[in-house]
């Protein structure tokens, strides 16, 4: 199993500002994932963070709004840029366990973001 | 397109009663299926998973789920619910398109009455 630590756990931010969320995994993983969970909604994949290359973004998400860094195999950051109240969500970091494609995903505790 | 449907947004049961949470999926190949639980203010915890083999899988906290290919379903069950089971439950398909991506259902919020 993997233990994933995220910080901050929550924040309240002013609109127009940016917030960087950090994700640390206790083991080396090839891929890390960032999800958004809007209030009352399910998880939506934002992007896949690849070590040594650009992140791969899902439809509807762009790098300018959600820049991602992946400097090594245990760490990633997601920045929510130029925030608006619509960005108020829980942001979760995830990493797969070791093994085949269907291996379970492990999740951080999430970052609860409120934009005012 | 791949998708996961959880038809019940909210379910309320009495403590000690049995529970079944429904999950239907649309996926072209044999899916990897998961159930996760999210308690208030917490991340997601894996309850159980199905990759292949026995279609009835056992998980943690007394939960089980049954994979029914003919019905494209993977329903979660528990014979006797405890108050601490109140949480949100997500069904997910993993390994989408040969990647590590997961598709989640919209979740079912479980309320347990004392």
State the nearest Cα–Cα gap between A40 and chain B, in angstroms: 9
Share of chain A above pLDDT 90, in %: 74
Please tell me the number of Cα atoms within 13 Å of B30 on its side-chain side. 8
Q: Residue B94 — pLDDT band, cuts 50, 70, 90?
A: confident
User: B91 to chain A: nearest residue by CA?
Assistant: A42
Average pLDDT over residues B91-110: 86
Cβ pair A18, A83 in contact under 8 A? yes
What is the rounded CA–CA span in Å between residue B104 and residue A81?
25
State the nearest Cα–Cα gap between B41 and chain A, in angstroms: 8
B108-113/B10-14 β-pairing: parallel
Beta bridge partners of B89: B37, B108
pLDDT for residue B77 is more than 70: yes
Cβ pair B15, B63 in contact under 8 A? no
Q: Is B7 helix (H, G, I), strand (E, B) or coil?
A: coil
CB proximity list for B11: less than 8 A, separation 6 or greater: B19, B21, B108, B109, B110, B111
Q: What is the pLDDT of residue A99?
A: 64
- B32-66: per-residue pLDDT in tens? 899 999 988 778 899 999 988 889 999 999 999 99
pLDDT higher for B102 or A114? A114
Q: Residue B6 — pLDDT band, cuts 50, 70, 90?
A: very high
Q: If contacts are CB pairs under 8 Å, which of residues 27-46 in chain B contact chain A?
A: 32, 34, 36, 41-46
């Amino acid at each position: 199993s993997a233990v994933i630590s995220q910080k901050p756990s929550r924040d309240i931010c002013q609109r127009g500002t940016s917030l960087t969320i950090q994700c640390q995994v206790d083991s080396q993983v090839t891929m890390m994932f960032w999800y958004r969970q809007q209030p009352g909604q399910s998880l939506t994949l934002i992007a896949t963070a690849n070590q040594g290359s650009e992140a791969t973004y899902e439809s509807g998400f762009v790098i300018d709004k959600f820049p991602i860094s992946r400097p090594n195999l245990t760490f990633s950051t997601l920045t929510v840029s130029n925030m608006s109240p619509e960005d108020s969500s829980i942001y979760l970091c995830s990493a797969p366990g070791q093994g085949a494609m269907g291996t379970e995903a492990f999740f951080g505790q999430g970052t609860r973001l409120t934009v005012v | 397109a791949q998708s996961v449907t959880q038809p019940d947004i909210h379910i309320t049961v009495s403590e000690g009663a049995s529970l079944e949470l429904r999950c239907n999926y649309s996926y072209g190949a044999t899916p990897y299926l998961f159930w996760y639980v999210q308690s208030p203010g917490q991340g997601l915890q894996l309850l159980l998973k199905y990759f292949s083999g026995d279609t009835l899988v056992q998980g943690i906290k007394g939960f089980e789920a049954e994979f029914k290919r003919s019905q494209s379903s993977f329903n979660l069950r528990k014979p006797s619910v405890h108050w601490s089971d109140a949480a949100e439950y997500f069904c997910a398909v993993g390994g989408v398109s040969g990647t590590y991506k997961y598709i989640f259902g919209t979740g079912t919020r479980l309320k347990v009455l004392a």
